[in-house]
Amino acid sequence: MSETLLQTDGLTKRFGALTANDEITLGVDRGEIRGLIGPNGSGKTTFFNSLTGFYTPDEGTVTFDGTDITGWESHRIAREGVGRTFQIAAPFGNMTVRQNMLAVQTPKSVDEHERAQEILEFLDIDHIADDDASGMSGGQKKLLGLGRVLMLDPECILLDEPTAGVNPALADRILEHLRELNDRGTTFMIIEHDMDVLKQIVDTVSVLDQGRHIVQGTFEEVSTDDRVREAYLGSADDDEVPV
Amino acid sequence: MGTENDLTVRDRFQALLGRDDAHLWLFGIGAVVLAVLPFALSTFWTRIALGALMWIGLAQSWNMIGGYAGYLDFGHGAYFGVGAFVTGIVMVELELPFVAGLLIAGVFCAVLAYVVGVPTLRLSGAYFAIATWAFAEAIKELALILEITGGTYGMTFPTGPGTSGIPLVGWPDEMFFYYLMMVLTLGTIALAYFLFEHSEFGFRVKAIRDHEDAAQSLGIDATKIKRRVYVISCVIAALFGGANAYYITFIHPNDVLAPIITDQMIIMALLGGLGTIGGPIIGGVLIFLLNRLSSLFLGNTTIYLPLIGLLIMVTVLFAPSGVIGILRGEVGREDVKQNLRELAEKFDIL
């Protein structure tokens, strides 16, 4: 029997006449890796922003681990256990990799130096811990982005394109790390355009189209669903999702 | 061969710039030199050194909010002026010694900065700059019409033995004020160093400056941290304002609340290097000396303004990270050439 960790009910976000998220009701189970896909402009990043307090939803609620976190400030949601990364992995400048990690607001009871070292070792970037973070490669920046989130020891992490722009070898390593974290109990929701990446890692996929949550299922179910093809192609006549 | 040696020296120098023990040694040596300096200088040059110290401290205080937190505060000078007037009011109206005036000015400005910071720090970029500038103008106009500040007549400070409130100091003389400024400035530099370069608090401030959303998503309460930086930096400006006012004994809103006070702090931090410890020190000394020496040798107190304008243009165009950036090797000869080429193309000179 699975238990829902993160749940939205009728989540709606409007920008003037545009409804970016239209009554999205969606639940992510504890320990799951959920993919979130949809054509450009379907409202995926807006959904992440509404979940993590960067946007205040116009309607609907967000519940995390039984607590209603709708409208909470983003730093409070992060401390509550919902971490996130951004599409563009930008380290904080003029700081070393380690200082980037130490900037994270951890609970007072945590030895942040020890935790930072552990995470850097886990992600295999401890050898550059005291180097200037702005000199990292694109892939290393993505790893640092993940590392910073892990400092919060979150139960749930929302990842916005974790392997975009990363060389295939490093992308595989990132996926391995995600699997290992998932084995340890971390729940993930991942926005990803690369379907090859997605099918390797996700348990289930949710599809957004024009702000609405249209389908949810396993990768195979979703990739053969007519509504999904229509969302991507505009008609249901073609064979597969073009990604 | 020669080039290799040059490189090694340069590399060593740059490595030294980044070392903690080198920073502490530099600070220690600097403090000793400053402590004995008045014995080697004439009264005239001691006065110049005193002024330079004050401006280093003020530029560093602006650098906290403007450089480290990235909030362009165009109203910082208001706290310098308010600090001066509150110190004066405490000394004149309440007849308390200078030390009490300075402490009360610090507390008053902490509360004022908190109250001003709550609405203004929600703004960003040009809007924050405009709001703080307007605040400073309002404070100046207020000081000009209030009775307690002396209005357009200004305010004269009590002088003479016993007014300082510091034991063993009789009549506060040049030396007293030199060492007062030295302590305030060294204190400000040490505070900035430990707070912004060596604590998690400082890392969080820089995180907010670079990517506020990412910082928030990492549990950092950006509003609270920005407010703290703003309050700390404003209190420091207030302390310098109070100390300077007691030193010059007469203050007027048009002087201690003049916009040029803020402008100079910004220019000094910018020229030296924003968001660094060394930047405001280098910028403070350079600009203050340029100011004093131009009036000394050119007999003109305004010529340094266009000179500063020129310096700022050159800095922004060729070395955006300031003198510190050049010392760190961030701006090399090739970069300058590149910038010049781009500029020439832009204006169709080539």
- The answer to whether A92 contacts B275, with C-beta atoms less than 8 Å apart, is no
Residue A115 is assigned to a structural domain of this protein: no
Handedness of CA A208, A211, A213, A215 (dihedral sign): negative
Q: Does B339 touch chain A (CB under 8 A)?
A: no
Banded model confidence at residue B350, pLDDT cuts 50, 70, 90: low
Residue B322 is predicted with a pLDDT of 85
Residue B223 is predicted with a pLDDT of 93
Q: Does B203 touch chain A (CB under 8 A)?
A: yes
Banded model confidence at residue B109, pLDDT cuts 50, 70, 90: very high
Nearest CA in chain A to B215: A104
- Give the pairing type, strands B250-251 and B155-156: antiparallel
ipTM for the complex? 0.89
Q: Does A215 touch chain B (CB under 8 A)?
A: no
Handedness of CA A154, A159, A163, A164 (dihedral sign): negative
- Set of chain B residues whose Cβ sits within 8 Å of the Cβ of A84: 217
- The answer to whether A103 contacts B220, with C-beta atoms less than 8 Å apart, is yes
- The answer to whether A105 contacts B217, with C-beta atoms less than 8 Å apart, is no
Nearest CA in chain A to B221: A75
Mean pLDDT of B196-201: 94
By Cβ distance, the residue of B204, B206, B210 closest to A105 is B204
Number of domains in chain A: 1
- The answer to whether B221 contacts A99, with C-beta atoms less than 8 Å apart, is no
Residue B2 is predicted with a pLDDT of 43
CA distance B27 to A138: 38
Residue A123 is assigned to a structural domain of this protein: no
Nearest CA in chain B to A130: B18
CA distance B212 to B95: 46
Whole-angstrom CA distances from B127 to A126, B74, B79, B117 are 41, 11, 19, 13
Domain CATH code at residue A165: 3.40.50.300
- The answer to whether B204 contacts A83, with C-beta atoms less than 8 Å apart, is no
Measure A75 CA to nearest chain B CA, in Å: 4
Would you state the torsion angle of the CA atoms of residues B104, B109, B114, B115, taken in this order, to the nearest 10 degrees?
100
Of residues A170, A90, A97, the one with CA closest to residue A127: A97
Residue A93 is assigned to a structural domain of this protein: no
Q: B287-307: string of b/e by CB count within 10 Å (b at 16+)?
A: bbbbbbebeeeeeeeeebeee
- Set of chain B residues whose Cβ sits within 8 Å of the Cβ of A99: 203
Q: Could you say which residues from 11 to 50 on chain A have a Cβ atom under 8 Å away from some Cβ of chain B?
A: none
Q: Is B161 exposed, middle or buried (0-12, 13-18, 19+ CB in 10 A)?
A: exposed
**Helix, strand or coil for residue A57?**
coil
Cα-trace Rg, chain B: 21
Cα three-residue angle B96-B101-B107, rounded to 5 degrees: 135
Q: What are the strands of the beta sheet with A67-68, ordered from one edge?
A: A18-29, A4-15, A59-64, A67-68
What does the block give as tokens for A138?
């694109």
**Helix, strand or coil for residue A173?**
helix
pLDDT per residue as tens digits for the range B146-176: 999 999 999 999 988 888 888 767 777 888 9
What does the block give as tokens for A50?
């509404």
- Give the pairing type, strands A59-64 and A4-15: antiparallel
Measure A204 CA to nearest chain B CA, in Å: 25
Residue A192 is assigned to a structural domain of this protein: yes
Domain ranges, residue A36? 4-88+153-233
State pTM to two decimals: 0.89
Residue A42 is assigned to a structural domain of this protein: yes
On whether the CB atoms of residues A156 and A189 are closer than 8 A, the answer is: yes
What does the block give as tokens for B79?
């706290």
Q: Is A110 exposed, middle or buried (0-12, 13-18, 19+ CB in 10 A)?
A: middle
The residues, any chain, with a CB within 8 Å of residue A82's CB and separated by 6 or more, are: A6, A51, A52, A64, A69, A154, A155, A156, A157, A158
CA distance A231 to A234: 6
pLDDT per residue as tens digits for the range B23-41: 889 999 999 999 999 999 9
By Cβ distance, the residue of B200, B215, B275 closest to A102 is B200
CA distance A32 to B183: 58
By Cβ distance, the residue of B203, B211, B221 closest to A90 is B211
Neighbouring-strand partners of residue A8: A26, A62
Measure A52 CA to nearest chain B CA, in Å: 8
On whether the CB atoms of residues B184 and B103 are closer than 8 A, the answer is: no
Q: Does B275 touch chain A (CB under 8 A)?
A: yes
Poorest-pLDDT segment among A47-51, B159-163, B215-219, B239-243: B159-163
CA distance B166 to B184: 15
Measure B330 CA to nearest chain A CA, in Å: 12
On whether the CB atoms of residues B255 and B146 are closer than 8 A, the answer is: no
Q: Does A122 touch chain B (CB under 8 A)?
A: no
- The answer to whether B217 contacts A86, with C-beta atoms less than 8 Å apart, is yes
Q: Pick the residue with more confidence: B9 or A166? A: A166
Residue B128 is predicted with a pLDDT of 95
**Helix, strand or coil for residue A157?**
strand
What ranges in A1-62 are assigned the alpha helix state H?
Answer: 44-51
- The answer to whether B214 contacts A95, with C-beta atoms less than 8 Å apart, is no
Measure B203 CA to nearest chain A CA, in Å: 5
**In whole numbers, what is the pLDDT of chain B averaged over residues?**
89
> Hey, where are the domains in chain B?
34-259
CA distance A70 to A56: 8
**3-state SS of chain B?**
CHHHHHHHHHHHHHHHHCCHHHHHHHHHHHHHHHHHHHHHCCHHHHHHHHHHHHHHHHHHHHHHHHHHCCCCCCCCHHHHHHHHHHHHHHHHCCCCCHHHHHHHHHHHHHHHHHHHHHHHCCCCHHHHHHHHHHHHHHHHHHHHHCCCCCHHHCEECCCCCCCCCCCCCCCCCHHHHHHHHHHHHHHHHHHHHHHHHCCHHHHHHHHHHHCHHHHHHCCCCHHHHHHHHHHHHHHHHHHHHHHHHHHHCEECHHHHCCHHHHHHHHHHHHHHCCCCCHHHHHHHHHHHHHHHHHHHHCCCCCCHHHHHHHHHHHHHHHCCCHHHHHHCCCCCHHHHHHHHHHHHHHCCCC
By Cβ distance, the residue of A75, A95, A151 closest to B216 is A75
In this prediction, the residues of chain A whose per-residue pLDDT falls under 70 are 1-2, 235-243
What does the block give as tokens for A84?
């996130």
CA distance B350 to B346: 9
By Cβ distance, the residue of A75, A86, A94 closest to B220 is A75
Tell me, rounded to whole angstroms, the distance of Cα A61 from its chain centroid.
Answer: 19
Residue A139 is predicted with a pLDDT of 87
- Set of chain A residues whose Cβ sits within 8 Å of the Cβ of B68: none
